[in-house]
Structure 1
Amino acid sequence: MGRGKTKAQKRADWRNSRDENNPEMPRKKFYRQRAHANPFSDHHLSYPASPDDMDWSTYYPGFVAQNPLDNGEPQKTETSSTLAASRSLTKDVEVVDIGCGFGGLLVALAPLLPDSLILGLEIRVQVTHFVQDRIRALRAQNQEKNLYQNIACLRANTMKFLPNFFRKGQLSKIFICFPDPHFKVRKHKARIVSSTLNSEYAYALRPGGIVYTITDVESLHQWMVEHLEGHPSFERISPEEEAADPCVEVMKKETEEGKKVERNSGPKFVALFRRVEDPPW
C-alpha cells in the first residue's frame, strides 16, 4: 500500500489549486512551522544594500508613483538610482510590526491607520507566506472599497538588517508584540529588545515616534522597560497617554498571541516609549 502525501506535498497541492484572481483566505494548517527561529542562523535572506535599493512596488502596488522617467523617449541603461526612481512610492513605509506572526495586528491597523504604509517583518518562511497570502485575499475581497492596500509583509531578520530597509527617522511607530521571551540566561542575547537593538530602533524612528511593547511574561516586560528606559533616546509614555492611544487596544486584542492570552485569562503587560529629540550637538 502506498504512503499518503507528505505535509509539504499537501501544502503545495493546496496552493497550486488556488485561484489567483479570486484567492480564498489561507488556512494555517497549510503553513505550519516551528514557533521560533534562531535569529543568529543564516536564513539565506534577501535584503537591499541600502534603503534606496529597496523595491517596495510589489508590496504596495496601490501606492506606486507615476514613473517620472517615462517620458516616451528611449531610455539609456538604467543605473541603481534610476531604477529606484522608477519604482518609488507616493509615500514611505512608516509603521513596522516586528515579528508580525500571522498578521493579526497588520490587518487590524490597516483601517485604523489608512494613510500610513504598514509593514510586518517575519523571519519564518511559512508564516511570511501565510501573511502575504492573507493580504492578497483581503485585497481581492475588498477591491471595490480599495482596502488593505496599505499593509504588506516581508521575510527579514530585524536583528541583523533593520537599517538596510529604513532610513534615519523614517518610522513613526514600531510594534513589538509578544516576542520570544528566551527564558534561559544564555538566550537573552536573542531578545528583540536590547541596548544595541534599541539604538537601531532610535535610528529608524523619527523624534516623537513610539515603540509599542506588549507581553504576557512579566520578567520580559521588566527587561524591555529597563532597557528602553535606560536608553538616552527613549522616554516612557505616561499611563494616561497610553490609555488614550487607540493602537494599544488593537495591540492587546488583535494579535494571535493576544487572543490566546485572552482565552486563557492571562495577564498583558504594556509599555510605550517615545523617541526623544537628539541633543543639539
Structure 2
Amino acid sequence: MRRMAEQLNKKQKRAHYRQAQKENGISALPRKKFYRQRAHANVFSDHQLVYPKSPAHMDWTTYFPAFVADTDPITTAQPAETSLSNATNLYPRKLTKEVEVVDIGCGFGGLLVALAPALPDTLILGMEIRTSVAEYVQHRIAALRTQNPGTDLYQNISCLRANTMKFLPNFFRKGQLTKAFICFPDPHFKHRKHKARIVSTTLNSEYAYALRPGGIVYTITDVEDLHNWMVQHLETHPIFERISEEEQEADPCVEIMKTETEESKKVGRNKGQKFVALFRRLEDPPW
C-alpha cells in the first residue's frame, strides 16, 4: 500500500487526501499542501460557477446550519417562471439573521477564522474563485466546528466559490452588508490587466449597492501602486468617503486584517509594508 502511495503523482495524492477527508469526516484541520492552486485565476472566464438568479433564490442554510430558522413552508403562489429545477425555492428555509460581512477573495480563510470570535453575532462569508482554495476553507471551517462541540464558535463563518466581479449582486440584496474586506488582492501589474483589478469605478458601484449607509470597505495591500489605485477610485466615487487615520486605527477589525491573513503574515515575515485604507458608504443623495 505504501509503495502504491509513493508511486502516485502530486495530483493523485491531493485527490486521495481530499476524498479521504470527505469519507472519514472532517475533524482535523486540512493540510494546505493538498489544496495548492495557482495564485491567479481568470476572472473573465466562465469557470462553470453555480450562482443564484437573485438574492431571494440563495439558500444559505447549508452554509450556516446553526442559524436556520424554524419556518413553515410558503404556500403562496410562486412566479410563473418558477420551474421544477428551482423546486427548492418553493419551500425555502431561512436564517435567523442575514450575512452582513463579506471577505472578497478570502484566500485560505485566515481573516474569516480570526473574525469569527471577534464578531460572534455576525454572519461572515468568504468568497473565493479558486476551486481548491475554496474547498480548503470549507474543510477548515468544518474541522474547527467539529473541534468545538457544544459552542457557537465558527458557526458564524462560511465560504463559497464565486466570482465577485461578475455575480456579487446575485448574492446580496441592496444595503445588506455592513463590511466588505478586500485584503491583498491580485495587483495585476500590467496595464492591460488593470481591468481585472477588484477595485474599479464599476465594481465600486456594486459595493455601494450591497453596503448599507455607514457600511465600510476595508482595503489592505503590500503594493503601493495598487494602494494608490484603490484609494483614487474609491475617493472619487460619490458614495464613498475615506475614514480618518484616527478612526481607522481605533477599528479592531483593522488590526485583525493587518495580522491574521496568510498574506499579511507573509508580508510581516518579509518585513514589507502594509498599506491600509478604509472607506465609509454614505447616505444616498436625495432624488
Please classify the TM superposition score into its range, dividing by the shorter chain length.
Answer: over 0.9
Q: Percent identity?
A: 71
Q: Residues of 2 paired with 1:84 and 1:207: CA distance?
A: 32
Partner secondary structure for residue 143 of structure 2: helix
- Please give the per-residue CA displacement for 1:147-184, whole angstroms capped at 9, x wherever unaligned: 10000000000000000000000000000000000001
Q: 2:64 maps to which residue?
A: 60
TM-score by length of 2: 0.92
2:215 partner SS = strand
Structure-2 change in CA distance of 1:211 and 1:84 (3 Å) = farther
Q: How many residues get paired? A: 277
Asked whether the 8 Å contact 2:187–2:226 carries over to 1, the reply is: yes
| C-alpha contact 1:54 1:84 (8 A) present in aligned 2 | no
Cα distance in 2 for residues equivalent to 1:156 and 1:83 = 20
SS of 1:119 mapped into structure 2:
strand
CA distance in 2, matches of 1:52, 1:81: 13
TM-fit CA distance, 1:14: 1.4
Change (3 A) 1:84 1:91: farther
Q: Aligned match of 1:69 in 51, 54, 73?
A: 73
Alpha carbons 1:55, 1:84 under 8 Å: kept: no
- Residues 238, 81 of structure 1: CA spacing in aligned structure 2 closer, same or farther, 3 A cutoff? farther
Distance 1:93 1:248, change over 3 A: same
CA distance in 2, matches of 1:274, 1:167: 18
2:149 alignment counterpart: 143
After superposition, what is the alpha-carbon deviation per residue over 1:9-53, rounded to whole angstroms, capped at 9, x for unaligned?
211221233364452100011101101101011101000000000
Match of 1:133 among 134, 139, 151: 139
Letter aligned with residue 174 of structure 2: K
Which runs of no fewer than 5 residues in structure 1 stay unpaired? none
Bigger shift: residues 264-273 or 9-18: 9-18
Residues of 2 paired with 1:155 and 1:20: CA distance? 23
1:46 aligns with 2:50: yes
Match of 2:112 in 1: 106
Q: Report whether the alignment pairs 1:16 with 2:19.
A: yes
Amino acid at match of 1:39: V
Secondary structure, aligned partner of 1:86: coil
| Aligned partner (choices 199, 202, 206) of residue 212 of structure 2 | 206
Report the equivalent of 2:277.
271
Please tell me the root mean square deviation across aligned C-alpha atoms, in Å. 2.0
Q: 2:235 aligns with which of 229, 235, 251?
A: 229
**Helix, strand or coil: the match of 2:216?**
strand
Deviation, 1:259, is 0.1
Distance 1:9 1:173 in 2: 39
Evaluate the alpha carbon distance shift between residue 191 and residue 171 of structure 1 in structure 2; reply closer, same or farther with a 3 A threshold.
same
Consecutive unaligned residues of structure 2, counting only runs of 5 or more, are none
Q: Which residue of 1 aligns with 2:172?
A: 166
Q: CA deviation at 1:280?
A: 1.2
Does the residue aligned with 2:7 lie in a helix, a strand or coil?
Answer: coil
Alignment TM-score, normalising by the size of structure 1 = 0.94
What amino acid does structure 2 have at the position aligned with 1:233?
I
- What's the CA shift string for 1:194-215, capped at 9, x where partnerless? 0000000000000000000000
Question: Match of 2:16, SS?
Answer: helix
What is the rounded CA distance, in whole Å, between the counterparts of 2:139 and 2:262 in structure 1? 17
CA contact (8 A) 1:177 1:215 kept: yes
Q: CA deviation at 1:191?
A: 0.3
